[in-house]
Every structure is written in C-alpha cells, then in structure tokens.
A and B are shown apart, each in its own frame.
Chain A
Amino acid sequence: MSKSARYSLRFLRVWQRNLLVYRRIWMVNFMVPLLEPVFYLLAFGIGFSGLIGDIDYAGRKISYVAFIAPALLATAIMFNSFYETTFASFVRMYYQKTFDALLATPLSLEEVITAEIVWGATKSVLAATLMLVVIALFGLVRFPEGLLILPLAFLGGMAFGAVGMYFTGITPSIDMFNLPIFLFVTPLFLFSGTFFPVAGLPLWGQYLATFSPLYHLVELSRLAVMGRMESELFFSLTYLVLFSVVFFFLAVRAMRRRLIK
C-alpha cells in the first residue's frame, strides 16, 4: 500500500461524524467559549487592572485587558484542539472502539487520524469565533483584521491537535494524559507571553519562549486583534506551520504503531 494512496478526502466523512455529535449537544459546546472570556475579562479587567495598570508591549503602553484578550483567544484555540485529540480521541479509540469499526471500512488509518486532527482544529475555530464575538463586545477587537483570527485558529488548532494526537499515540492509559498536561500544556499556558510579556522573563526564559508554539499563536492573535506584535510575523507563522506538519506525521506514525497489529 503506497503512502499516497492512504490519503483522500474521504476523511471528511469522519469529520462529519464528529460534527454531528457536536451539534447534538451544541448548547454545552457553545457555553464554555461564550462565558470563559466574560469571566476572565471581568476578573482581570475589574479585579486585576487596578493592581497592574497599563503595561509595556511592543514599544507601547496598553491596558492589561487589551493585553490578555488576544491571549485568551490563543489559549482557547490550544485547549480546544488539544483536549479533543487527547481525551476525546482516546475515548473514541480505546473505550468506544470507534477506530476499529472505521478501519474495517474503506478508510485508512491516515484518514481517520487526519479527520480527528482537522476536527480538533475545527473546534478551535468554532470556539475562537464565539470568543471573538464576546471580546469584540468589550471593544477590544479591530475589524476587519480581527477576522484573521479564524484562519489563525485553524492553524493553531492543527498544531495543538497534531501534538495532542501524538500524545494519544504514545500514552498507555487515559490517566497518563496528566503528564503532558502538567509538563507541556501548563508551562505553555503560563510562560508564553499570555499573562505577562515575555520581556519580563530572564534572557534564558525569553529564549525558551521562542520555542513555544503558544507564544507564536499568542503573538499572531495580538497582531490580528490589535495590530501589534513583538515577534516576527514570518517567523511565527513558519514556526506554527512547521510544528503542525512535523507533529502531524509523528502522530500518524505513533498511531500506526499503536493500532495496526
């Protein structure tokens, strides 16, 4: 079986299946991205801003709320796809035996994995869209450039969906996901220029942050939402694309090793 013959648009059928399930409980699925930014912006805007005041970012003073709003979008993009291709995919693969059934139909393993990752990215786009509306109501988004968040959410969703799928391929049991979450996702969440500028870190910390896919996602979403970023547009975009591609193929390889016996 040549490798190219294993990829086709048939993966969209599996993607459709996930969309169908998502629509069954759309109320729950919509609630989190709608309410989460409200909670954060209220907490940080009302409670925190008084303590911090304005902050320096990319050579300009901006309000703390304006600083974290794009980061909230970026972290939601990360969490939505990462949780989808870790916990949710693991349940489908291991507990529900859904992949076993799929692999007895004219679908290849590559198509099933592609569908899962693209679905994770789709959830990121859906969540980012809803959050963008809420953040825009706070007056924190400039339009039409802010709409660039949507393709960016897809790219970021692919990056974190792929790395999540890779962890699913190598994680023996569902409880073990606590490890990548604690050692990978949580440090990214805290140290990627999300809640304070990377400039606040020591030099080695700043250097490390440039390896964080979330840092580049946060930077790109600041550029879309408020028109400024401190990193290089081309570098951040390239980094995210390469990260997605590398982990996509690592994920497929890990899942092939795990499932095909």
Chain B
Amino acid sequence: MRFVVCGKPLLVSRHEAIEPRSDGFFTIHTTQRMSDEKTRPLVIEARALRKCFGAFTAVEDISFSVARGEIFGLLGPNGAGKTTAIRMIYGFSPLTSGSMRVFGQDIHDGWRNIRSRIGVCQQENTLDPDLSVEQNLLVFAGYFALSRKTAVQRTHELLAYFALEHKKEAKVGELSGGMIRRLMLARILINDPELVILDEPTTGLDPQSRHQVWDKLKELRDRGLTILLTTHYMEEASWLCDRLLIVDRGRVLVEGAPQDLIQAHVGDSIIEVDQPEPALRDFIAAQDLAHEDFGGRIIIYSGQRPELERIIREDYCAHTCTFRNGTLEDVFLRLTGRGLRE
C-alpha cells in the first residue's frame, strides 16, 4: 500500500521508507514490496562465484539470487569485486569456479540467449562516438538482430521516453553528462530486456539528472523489469533497492532489505558527539554502549532509548551532538571500515 502526504512529515515510523518525489511530496511505503519474493521466479542465481586473475583473487566467494521484478543492489568499496561479479553475470568474465544461472540457464552455454534478453549499462561511456544519437540506438538494435521495423519503432519510443528526440541527429560528443547517461539507458532497453544490469548508473550526474534516472528505474521496475545495480551512493541504494548485498574483499558481508539492514546493524538512533570529553568515554564504557571512537568524534549506536539520549544531551555535549536516524551509510561504514581503499 502506498499513500502520499502533503508537506514534510514530522514523524514517521522508522519501519517505513520515505521517498521524496520530484513535485515536493513524499511517498511513504508502509508495506514491504517484496513480501511475495519467495514465490517469484529467480532471474539470477549466483552460487559460490570465484574469480582469480593470476595470483590475485578479485572475487573470493559471492552467492546471491535476484527475483523477477526486484531492484537489487550490489554495494561495496572500490576493489570489492562488484564490477567483476557483474561481468560474470553477462558472461564477459569466465568464472574461475562456482556457477551462474540467468533465466534458469547456465551462462557458459546459454550466453547468447541470455545476452539477448538483458541490457548492460557499463560504468564508462561506451556509446559509439562515430554515430549520431539515433544511429547509436539503430545500430545497437542490429547487434540484437532486431528487424529494421522494430528497431526504428523502438528507437523512436526510447528517444521520446528519455527526452532525447531533439538531439537525435547530434553526435555523442555533443551531449551533456546527463544526456549521455539517458542515451545509455535508452540503448540498454532497445532489445526490450527482462533484466538490466547497471554499473554505477548515476556516478557524476547532477542531482536533477540523478533523480530523473531514479524515477525511470522505478518506472521500469513497476513494469516488471528486474534491475541489478551497483552504486556508491547509499541514499540511492536505500531509496531504490528492494534488497541489496554489501560485498568487500570478494566476499559477501550482509544481504537484505535496506531498512532491515539498518535495524540489524546500526539500529534506529545514532548519536554523534564531536570532540568528546573523557567523561563520555567513561560513561560509554560503564554502560557498555555500542559505539565507534574516531578520537575527535564518537558515534554511539543508541537504539530507541530516549533516556540515554537525554543523559548524553544534558551531561556530555560540550560541543556538538547530532541525534539522527541510522542510515545505510552507517551500516556500510560499520561493516567495511573507514580505511581508504586503493
């Protein structure tokens, strides 16, 4: 069930997901969309994926499955093995061991059929700079062996859907970053895929373009498309993903719905204390509170304990204290650590 409230809701149960809309309203999801997840057919079944490049192991052991109609997120720091895992799904990278089934077929034998039913949007701009916007779609349709008639019709529809019609004669080099991303999204839909795979679809976009991409992805999901994406933006993953996987060093750390992961790993409430005094550290130790200490800042995973919040606010906030909800970013940082990668 969905309903829309006017203005900014002051109090919303933390079991509900709030989603801002472009018109200033908010949509509140009160029930879990994926309650029938178990009964849906699986689109991707990845079992014990492993990928080595010589002595280097990019993917150690990753298993997951994606049901039809889901938006599934693959998160992790740089070098966690996300892109390698994605390349294994569409049969670009052969598996060192494990198994990958898409639409119930093994990728090793069924790669051509599988690829004809999916769309892959890579991290880099892989549009054809020698061709116009329109030709990019028409030529790509050829690779899927679509008939000329279908190709022309789909191209026309997709240019309109992604608001690119006025640019159809333009060369790719003349497009802005947002338009390039829209054209890449249009191109992966040319074969009317059942599954789309997006590697960081909104990296480098301005907020307007990013929201537009989110809207389109949700529309596509609502039409029954299955979507797998990677992202470094946690608020994007929270809003978009029905379920997600956090991977690091080639292994799965956690899997679940964003709200469930927040509940399980950082709790509802978080208190951030800047420049904490020694007395706070003693208090934390005495109370045995779940926390992380970064020297100049302490994060306390306080749970729903108003009394605790009151004590800290009154007794231990010499400088700045922030009382806020737990987010997916907290989960991510808590699980993958704060050390820089690469």
Within the assembled complex, what's the spacing in Å between the Cα atoms of A101 and B190? 13
Check B257 for interface membership: any CB of A closer than 8 A.
no
Contact B122 A106 (CB under 8 A): no
Check B131 for interface membership: any CB of A closer than 8 A.
yes
Contacts of A98 in B (CB 8 A): 126, 128
Check A210 for interface membership: any CB of B closer than 8 A.
no
Within the assembled complex, what's the spacing in Å between the Cα atoms of A100 and B145? 18
Within the assembled complex, what's the spacing in Å between the Cα atoms of A105 and B113? 10
Contacts of A16 in B (CB 8 A): 139, 142
Check A96 for interface membership: any CB of B closer than 8 A.
yes
Count of B interface residues, CB-CB < 8 Å: 30
Contact B108 A10 (CB under 8 A): no
Find the A residue at minimum CB distance from B58. A261
What are the interface flags for A94-119 relative to B under an 8 Å C-beta threshold, 1 for contact and 0 otherwise?
00111011111111100000000000
Check B315 for interface membership: any CB of A closer than 8 A.
no
Contact B131 A21 (CB under 8 A): yes
Check A14 for interface membership: any CB of B closer than 8 A.
yes
Known: A20-B139, A101-B126. A106 touches B131 (CB 8 A): no
Taking a contact as CB atoms closer than 8 A, the residue among B125, B135, B139 that contacts A97 in the complex is B125
Check B92 for interface membership: any CB of A closer than 8 A.
yes
Contact A20 B112 (CB under 8 A): no
Within the assembled complex, what's the spacing in Å between the Cα atoms of A92 and B54? 27
Could you tell me which residues of chain A, from 68 to 111, have a CB within 8 Å of some CB in chain B?
96-98, 100-108
Check B288 for interface membership: any CB of A closer than 8 A.
no
Contacts of A24 in B (CB 8 A): 130
Contact A97 B93 (CB under 8 A): no
Taking a contact as CB atoms closer than 8 A, the residue among B92, B144, B145 that contacts A103 in the complex is B92
Known: A101-B122, A104-B120, A105-B115. A10 touches B145 (CB 8 A): yes
Check B140 for interface membership: any CB of A closer than 8 A.
yes
Within the assembled complex, what's the spacing in Å between the Cα atoms of A16 and B141? 12
Contacts of A100 in B (CB 8 A): 122, 124, 126
B221–chain A nearest beta-carbon distance, Å: 20
Contact B142 A96 (CB under 8 A): no
Check B57 for interface membership: any CB of A closer than 8 A.
no
Contacts of A1 in B (CB 8 A): 108-109, 111
B98–chain A nearest beta-carbon distance, Å: 16
Check B129 for interface membership: any CB of A closer than 8 A.
yes
Check A258 for interface membership: any CB of B closer than 8 A.
no
Contacts of A61 in B (CB 8 A): none
Within the assembled complex, what's the spacing in Å between the Cα atoms of A123 and B193? 35
Contact B131 A102 (CB under 8 A): no
Within the assembled complex, what's the spacing in Å between the Cα atoms of A16 and B131? 12
Check B143 for interface membership: any CB of A closer than 8 A.
yes
Check A183 for interface membership: any CB of B closer than 8 A.
no
Contact A13 B92 (CB under 8 A): no
Check A203 for interface membership: any CB of B closer than 8 A.
no
Contact A13 B143 (CB under 8 A): yes
Contacts of A261 in B (CB 8 A): 53, 87, 93
What are the interface flags for A1-28 relative to B under an 8 Å C-beta threshold, 1 for contact and 0 otherwise?
1000100001001101100110010000
Find the A residue at minimum CB distance from B140. A105
Check A260 for interface membership: any CB of B closer than 8 A.
yes
Taking a contact as CB atoms closer than 8 A, the residue among A17, A105, A108 that contacts B144 in the complex is A105
Contact B126 A107 (CB under 8 A): no
Taking a contact as CB atoms closer than 8 A, the residue among A17, A97, A106 that contacts B112 in the complex is A106
In this complex, which of B108, B109, B126 has the most chain A Cβ atoms within 10 angstroms of its Cβ? Answer: B126
A191–chain B nearest beta-carbon distance, Å: 36
Check B301 for interface membership: any CB of A closer than 8 A.
no
Within the assembled complex, what's the spacing in Å between the Cα atoms of A98 and B111? 19
Contact B142 A13 (CB under 8 A): yes
Within the assembled complex, what's the spacing in Å between the Cα atoms of A142 and B109? 53
What are the interface flags for B93-129 relative to A under an 8 Å C-beta threshold, 1 for contact and 0 otherwise?
1100000000000001101110110001010111111
What are the interface flags for A232-249 relative to B under an 8 Å C-beta threshold, 1 for contact and 0 otherwise?
000000000000000000
In this complex, which of B111, B112, B115, B122 has the most chain A Cβ atoms within 10 angstroms of its Cβ? Answer: B112
B341–chain A nearest beta-carbon distance, Å: 20
**A residues within 8 Å of B by Cβ?**
1, 5, 10, 13-14, 16-17, 20-21, 24, 96-98, 100-108, 260-261
12 interchain pairs, CB-CB under 8 A: A1-B108, A13-B145, A20-B131, A96-B129, A100-B126, A101-B122, A103-B92, A104-B90, A104-B92, A105-B143, A106-B116, A260-B92
7 more A-B contacts (CB under 8 A) besides A20-B135, A103-B92? A14-B143, A17-B142, A96-B129, A97-B125, A97-B126, A101-B122, A106-B115
Closest 5 CB pairs of A and B: A104-B120, A101-B126, A105-B143, A13-B142, A97-B126
